[in-house]
Amino acid sequence: MEKIKEEKMQNNTDNNGQSLITLKGVTKVYGQGQAAMEALRGIDLHIEKGEFIAVMGPSGSGKSTCMNILGCLDSPTKGSYIFKDIEVSKLSRRQRALLRRNYLGFIFQGYNLLKRTSAKENVELPLIYRGTPAHERHKLALTALNTVGLTGWESHTPSELSGGQQQRVAIARAIIMEPSVLLADEPTGNLDSACGIEIMELLCELNRNRGITIVMVTHEPDMAAYAKRIVHFKDGHVESDKKNGSKL
């Protein structure tokens, strides 16, 4: 059964016009009894291939919980999470790790770079875990750094890079595995407005030119304005879900 599901995941790289991601009646409860807290309350969400979605809402609204479920870092208490036509909740831990490794890329507010490691070596990390030969890793890392505009900065450590440059390294690391989806958690939260705009323009370019689906959590309306669709969470529900006239 596990081998069949792995093969199915590997063979379903095209979505044929169907939803790439579907959440149906997803509920997430933390704790038990009187201490139980319902973070998500039966949400429905459909994400098509190639969309750029901004997820917004106040603290405690459920948006981060939803992102953790989409990233296979958490599982619903009830409801269904379907990636392509795979029911994720029925996958084993190993299969969820396979999905996460081969189909999802992650970008964080705090960059999450290794401090004493060069930009190139940081970008290579996912390929090391995959077992990619060194010469191929080096070539792919240089290509990814060039894509994010960091040619010439390969040997610099994070302390030698600006915040915007560090986030570009993190984006290069996220795209080196050629993911179907980028999950970005406040990617401009630690940046000034000018650097934030540069990062958003880069994400828009990846979405437009490479067809990467992007789901981004943000508190900043100016950054959300770059997305093609804005989903607002409130009290564990999807309060609104509207198309947006993107800046780019």
pLDDT tens digits, 164-208: 999 999 999 999 999 999 999 999 999 999 999 999 999 999 999
Cβ neighbors of 200 (< 8 A, separation 6 or more) are 188, 223, 226, 247
Which superfamily does 2-243 belong to?
A: P-loop containing nucleotide triphosphate hydrolases (3.40.50.300)
pTM reported for the whole predicted model? 0.90
Give residue 32's pLDDT.
87
Where in the chain are the domains? 2-243
Question: How far apart are the C-alpha atoms of 11 and 105, rounded to whole Å?
Answer: 19
Question: How far apart are the C-alpha atoms of 228 and 241, rounded to whole Å?
Answer: 11
Question: How far apart are the C-alpha atoms of 20 and 16, rounded to whole Å?
Answer: 9
Q: What share of the chain is helix, strand, coil (3-state, %, to 5)?
A: 40, 25, 35
Query: Under a CB-based contact definition with an 8 Å cutoff, are residues 214 and 203 in contact?
Result: yes
Question: How far apart are the C-alpha atoms of 52 and 85, rounded to whole Å?
Answer: 20
pLDDT digits (tens, 9 = 90+) for 12-27: 444 445 689 999 999 9
- Listed as ranges, residues in the chain with pLDDT below 50 are 1-8, 11-16
Q: What type of residue sits at position 118?
A: S
Query: Under a CB-based contact definition with an 8 Å cutoff, are residues 70 and 99 in contact?
Result: no
Give residue 18's pLDDT.
63
Question: How far apart are the C-alpha atoms of 162 and 139, rounded to whole Å?
Answer: 24
